[in-house]
């Protein structure tokens, strides 16, 4: 093993996982002291907490007043599945995917819902599909930010205002760090464990008036489990969007979400959070531009994520290795950084091309990413020396 000198400075917080993500700066368990533990979520205090979480979500995320916001079970996955199972089937659907989670929604629609009229519009990791081929007279399902590829849509301009179908958007690694075009989106889902660093297991489902109209005028041909049901007697269950959750939420997690939202407001709201994430991405981008051995997985700068930054090792001697050895090289780097307590959980997603994935969302401090960058070079050089030994 090489004895390359280690960088002098270490990140104060080595948590760069892409989910669950780092807690907000300054967080401690004391922030949750007002959680109504041991109380019913249906009690007055529980309903007030849930309603406050919904209202703060609307304020920070700048959700239109006529859109409904509901807290639902099973993280972003649960929120997306509720939308797919409750809304699709009324017309054909275009499934747009360019990474693991988007591909998962394709599988659910084709193999589980078994819809007949499905078009798949897909691209390889690192690229966006041709968005001009989407037919918005149909329903459209897509991710705003591909968490496992680091590729995002640059904006909502590709969606027409006069669309006939619904747009269903998985925005879990975009919400609170990227500006979502709500006027072009009918369903938006996310998990607060991403950009706000909240605790896991809860999702958020946002519905436009058009989505509500679909729910109240269309009944799917398949049975819906209770946990997916958004209507009763042909009418939207409004209580879900006022804090009367379908199943029992963790009031500790809800308190943590409220704390994160209040922190977000102190940071300047959505503009402040985007600014933090952009500054974090800029640190990584500068490092990539100045080091020939590493590159962004996202090929087009306009589509590069400012949250889940995916990197690939492009040094010729590593590129020449068989795929399994190249993957082992990247995993070796990840292991070195973990053992030095400078970066946790930054390996590429299991289905993605081998490399690194570094979370740069708003709860990460820019100074920690600045401290991490020299360690990436140290890990690469150390692993390369070990390869030659």
Residue-wise pLDDT for 15-61, tens only, equals 999 999 999 999 999 999 999 999 999 999 999 999 999 999 999 99
Q: Which of 234, 265, 296 is the last residue of a domain?
A: 265
| Inside any domain, residue 284 | yes
Contacts of 138 by beta carbon, 8 Å cutoff, 6+ apart: 91, 92, 93, 94, 117, 119, 164, 165
The predicted pLDDT at position 109 comes to: 98
Instruction: Say yes or no: 287 and 381 in one domain.
Output: yes
Phi, psi of 9 (to 5 degrees): -105, 140
The predicted pLDDT at position 3 comes to: 64
CATH number for 370: 3.90.1150.10
Q: Which of 236, 265, 294 is the last residue of a domain?
A: 265
Which residues constitute the domain of residue 52?
Answer: 29-265
Instruction: Say yes or no: 150 and 233 in one domain.
Output: yes
Residue 111: which pLDDT band, with cuts at 50, 70 and 90? very high
Instruction: Say yes or no: 153 and 301 in one domain.
Output: no
Tally of domains within the chain: 2
Instruction: Say yes or no: 288 and 199 in one domain.
Output: no
Instruction: Say yes or no: 174 and 119 in one domain.
Output: yes
CATH number for 51: 3.40.640.10
Residue-wise pLDDT for 60-95, tens only, equals 999 999 999 999 999 999 999 999 999 999 999 999
| Inside any domain, residue 159 | yes
Instruction: Say yes or no: 275 and 223 in one domain.
Output: no
| Inside any domain, residue 10 | no
| Inside any domain, residue 109 | yes
Instruction: Say yes or no: 133 and 274 in one domain.
Output: no
| Inside any domain, residue 19 | no
Residue-wise pLDDT for 307-351, tens only, equals 999 999 999 999 999 999 999 999 999 999 999 999 999 999 999
Q: Which of 201, 236, 265 is the last residue of a domain?
A: 265
Residue-wise pLDDT for 127-165, tens only, equals 999 999 999 999 999 999 999 999 999 999 999 999 999
């Amino acid at each position: 093993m090489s004895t390359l000198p280690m960088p002098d400075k270490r990140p104060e917080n080595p948590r760069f996982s892409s989910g669950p993500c780092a807690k907000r700066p300054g967080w401690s368990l004391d922030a949750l002291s007002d959680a109504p533990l041991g109380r019913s979520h249906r009690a007055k205090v529980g309903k007030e907490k849930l309603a406050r979480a919904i209202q703060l979500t609307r304020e920070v995320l700048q959700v239109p007043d006529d859109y409904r916001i509901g807290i639902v079970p099973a993280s972003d996955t649960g929120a997306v599945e509720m939308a797919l199972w409750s809304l699709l089937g009324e017309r054909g659907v275009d499934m747009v995917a360019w990474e693991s989670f988007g591909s998962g929604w394709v599988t659910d629609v084709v193999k589980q819902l078994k819809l007949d009229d499905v078009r798949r519009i897909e691209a390889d990791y690192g690229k966006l599909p041709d968005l001009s081929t989407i037919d918005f007279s149909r329903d459209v399902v897509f991710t705003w930010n591909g968490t496992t590829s680091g590729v995002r849509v640059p904006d909502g301009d590709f969606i027409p205002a006069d669309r006939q179908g619904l747009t269903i958007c998985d925005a879990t690694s975009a919400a609170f760090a990227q500006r979502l075009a709500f006027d072009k989106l009918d369903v938006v889902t996310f998990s607060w464990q991403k950009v706000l660093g909240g605790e896991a297991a809860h999702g958020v489902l946002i519905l436009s008036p058009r989505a509500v109209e679909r729910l109240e005028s269309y009944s799917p041909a398949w049975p819906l489990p209770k946990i997916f049901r958004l209507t009763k007697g042909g009418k939207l269950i409004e209580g879900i969007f006022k804090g009367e959750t379908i199943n029992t939420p963790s009031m500790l997690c809800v308190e943590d979400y409220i704390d994160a939202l209040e922190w977000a407001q102190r940071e300047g709201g959505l503009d402040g959070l985007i600014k933090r994430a952009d500054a974090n991405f800029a640190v990584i981008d500068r490092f990539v531009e100045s080091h020939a051995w590493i590159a962004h997985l996202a090929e087009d700068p306009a589509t590069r994520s400012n949250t889940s930054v995916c990197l690939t090792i492009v040094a010729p001697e590593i590129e020449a290795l068989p795929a399994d050895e190249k993957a082992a090289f990247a995993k070796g780097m990840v292991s070195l950084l973990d053992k030095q307590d400078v970066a946790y959980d930054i390996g590429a997603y299991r289905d993605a091309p081998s490399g690194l994935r570094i979370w740069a969302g708003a709860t990460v401090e820019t100074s920690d990413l600045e401290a991490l960058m020299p360690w990436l070079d140290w890990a690469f050089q150390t692993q390369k020396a070990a390869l030659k030994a």
